[in-house]
Chains A and B, each alone.
Chain A
Amino acid sequence: MAQVITRPAPAAPRARPRGRRAWRDILVGWSFILPNFAGFLLFTIIPMLTAFALAFLKWDSYSDPEWVGLDNFARMLGDENFHVALRNTLFYAAGHIPLTLAAALGLAIALNRKLRGVPFFRTAAFFPYITSLVAVAVVWNMLFNPTAGPINQVLEAIGVSQPPRWVASKDWAMPAVVITSVWRDMGYYMVLYLAGLQTIPKEYYEAARVDGANAWQRFWGITVPSLRPTTFFVAVMLTIQSFKVLDLIVVMTDGGPGRSTLVLAQLVYREGITEGRFGYSSAIALVLFLIVLTVTVVQFRINERRSAS
């Protein structure tokens, strides 16, 4: 059926006549969106906007709020904790996003075949995501142990004379956290890639094989372009998750040693719930939101340009 249809002129949808048709589209569009949007607006967006408004107030969760204008933002400029947390978060994101993306795609391709035992291996790959965080932290910290840990023993065996001290060092704690989190999240994003791989028609590969393309060419020529919507989704979600990472870090290093793994979300939490400075906490959250929004918009632009080309 699909083959018979001739592609409509690219400009056609936009050239639709205004008036009744346009109104109909608006109504139909919103009717699809509304069930989700109504719930989301009420229970998430409204509290969120309230929190954003708090960024301009001083509030301890109990007494009357007090208008302070941009004080909370001014404070951020001079707050060493904020600078450290921002730097750490960016570092984490820079490592976590590309590595997880590559690992998840690799896993999905390796496990997207009809091989006996594949369901077992797929399940295994998803296990890190469902293993108790305490177990993850303890075992990885053991692997990273500076003197007795297997990772450093391997490094020494291959000739690294002074292997990093990982979680016991302020420079290497964050790389250790990044490695652990890539390991933990790859199975999660693999699931998304597995779903994406199902959309690629087999015929593409068959045709390419007939044309004599090798595996590498097929991967770059067919798999990667066909997966673009999924990759876009994974990249955006990874960005968002990286910028608000919290759980794993709290259990693995609790921001330490010192503040070497302190991240923005932890600062938001600490300033708000723990210290009762809800205004300042909201201001940090607002900045975090704006950073991610900017990155996401850029990702959208790039994606649009790529799909257009």
Chain B
Amino acid sequence: MTALVRRVLAYAALTVMAALVLVPFAWMLSSSLKRDNEVFTVPIQWIPNELRWSNFVDIWERIPLLTYLGNSMFLSVTITVLQVLSGSFAAYGFSKVRFPGRDALFLAYIATIAVPWQAYMVPQYIMMQKADLTNTHLAIILLQAFGAFGVFLMRQYYMSIPDELCEAARIDGLSEYGIYRRIMLPLSKPALASLALLTFVNTWNDYMGPFIYLTDNDLWTVQLGLRSFIGQYDAEYAMMMTGATLSVLPILAVFLLGQRYFIQGIATSGLKG
């Protein structure tokens, strides 16, 4: 009986949490089915007067959403792949190879995350302008693919993998690259999945970077497309929320894909060997 009660309680608690967490999303969803001038009513009107499903059709005609989705997808996937590869590779150097200055370098590395981008945005832009890279996707990729975040995350994960494992592999004659490839990568799937997920989401939702660097309309990302509904003095809020709802879908897909790896046992099964 206790097991049953426990289970019911657990579900009740989880359901309450889910409701708390989903309220703003519900607002977004409800707004996406309204007219523009019905979105910001005071008090909030949760159920629209009429459900305007046509918003979800109209938006494809109002803005080249397909192009924007394609650009966002291209940038997010490319940056995620580069970040995961270069980040986990560097993390191995920072965690399993000992050399002088390693820790100081590492510390400096992550401290740079603390500098707000707005502080060095203009010098960076001038540099990119001189290299003739502004208004290209390459600019965004170069700026975001090599970050300290991925290195830090992967390093912490590798720290929790016992050194003995590497030593054993070294004795078995594996090179450091072999250890990284054959032992560390397979063992760190949960961390790789979470890094990939978080990088993907951050790139997908990034607004300021693409805004500053991408000028031509056919290079724009979804987030820029959504903001294009805001005018000088007014905005089409329903369209924005329609677009925001649509732009959540790819993230959801990636999340559902990635969270398969958060199942207890994968990492440990490797360790037991």
Cβ contact within 8 Å between A122 and B259 = yes
Task: Say which one of B51-59, B60-68, B69-77, B119-127 lies at the interface with A.
Answer: B119-127
Cβ contact within 8 Å between B151 and A36 = yes
Nearest residue (CB) in A for B19 is A124
The verdict on B44 contacting chain A, using a C-beta distance below 8 Å, is yes
Q: Which of A16, A33, A285 contacts B119 (CB 8 A)?
A: A285
Residues of chain B from 103 to 122 with CB closer than 8 A to chain A in the complex: 105, 107, 109-116, 118-122
CB distance from B145 to the nearest CB of A (A): 6
Point out the residues of chain A lying under 8 angstroms from B152, CB to CB: 233, 236-237
The verdict on B173 contacting chain A, using a C-beta distance below 8 Å, is no
Cβ contact within 8 Å between B164 and A2 = yes
Point out the residues of chain A lying under 8 angstroms from B256, CB to CB: 119, 123
Point out the residues of chain B lying under 8 angstroms from A213, CB to CB: none
B113, B118, B124, B146, most chain A CB atoms within 10 A: B118
Alpha-carbon separation in the docked complex, A229 to B253 (Å): 29
The verdict on A168 contacting chain B, using a C-beta distance below 8 Å, is no
Interface of A is mostly: helix
The verdict on A134 contacting chain B, using a C-beta distance below 8 Å, is yes
Cβ contact within 8 Å between B21 and A128 = yes
Number of chain B residues whose Cβ lies closer than 8 Å to a Cβ of chain A: 102
**Interface 1/0 per residue, A1-37 and B, CB below 8 Å:** 1100101100001101000001001101111111111
Residues of chain A from 103 to 142 with CB closer than 8 A to chain B in the complex: 107, 110-112, 114-115, 117, 119-132, 134-136, 138-140, 142
The answer to whether residues A131 and B259 also contact, given A31-B93, A48-B120, A197-B264 and a CB cut-off of 8 A, is no
CB distance from B69 to the nearest CB of A (A): 15
Residues of chain B from 81 to 113 with CB closer than 8 A to chain A in the complex: 85-87, 89-90, 92-94, 97-100, 102, 105, 107, 109-113
The verdict on A159 contacting chain B, using a C-beta distance below 8 Å, is no
Alpha-carbon separation in the docked complex, A240 to B25 (Å): 27
The verdict on A50 contacting chain B, using a C-beta distance below 8 Å, is yes
The verdict on B28 contacting chain A, using a C-beta distance below 8 Å, is yes
Point out the residues of chain A lying under 8 angstroms from B147, CB to CB: 40, 44
**Interface 1/0 per residue, A26-62 and B, CB below 8 Å:** 1011111111111110111111101100100000010
Alpha-carbon separation in the docked complex, A34 to B217 (Å): 35
Number of chain A residues whose Cβ lies closer than 8 Å to a Cβ of chain B: 109
Cβ contact within 8 Å between A135 and B28 = yes
**Interface 1/0 per residue, B186-224 and A, CB below 8 Å:** 000011011001100100010000000000000000000
Cβ contact within 8 Å between B24 and A140 = yes
Q: Which of A16, A26, A148, A244 contacts B116 (CB 8 A)?
A: A244
Q: Which of A2, A114, A229 contacts B157 (CB 8 A)?
A: A229
Alpha-carbon separation in the docked complex, A126 to B143 (Å): 26
Alpha-carbon separation in the docked complex, A13 to B94 (Å): 15
A39, A236, A297, most chain B CB atoms within 10 A: A39
Cβ contact within 8 Å between A229 and B248 = no
Cβ contact within 8 Å between A289 and B193 = no
Nearest residue (CB) in B for A296 is B111
Can you list the 5 inter-chain pairs with the closest CB atoms, starting with the nearest? Answer: A32-B93, A39-B146, A285-B119, A292-B114, A47-B124
25 A-B residue pairs with Cβ-Cβ distance under 8 Å, sorted by A, are A32-B90, A36-B146, A40-B109, A43-B142, A44-B120, A51-B120, A114-B263, A115-B10, A127-B22, A134-B240, A135-B25, A135-B31, A135-B241, A135-B244, A187-B21, A192-B194, A194-B194, A199-B190, A229-B160, A237-B152, A285-B116, A285-B118, A285-B119, A288-B114, A292-B111
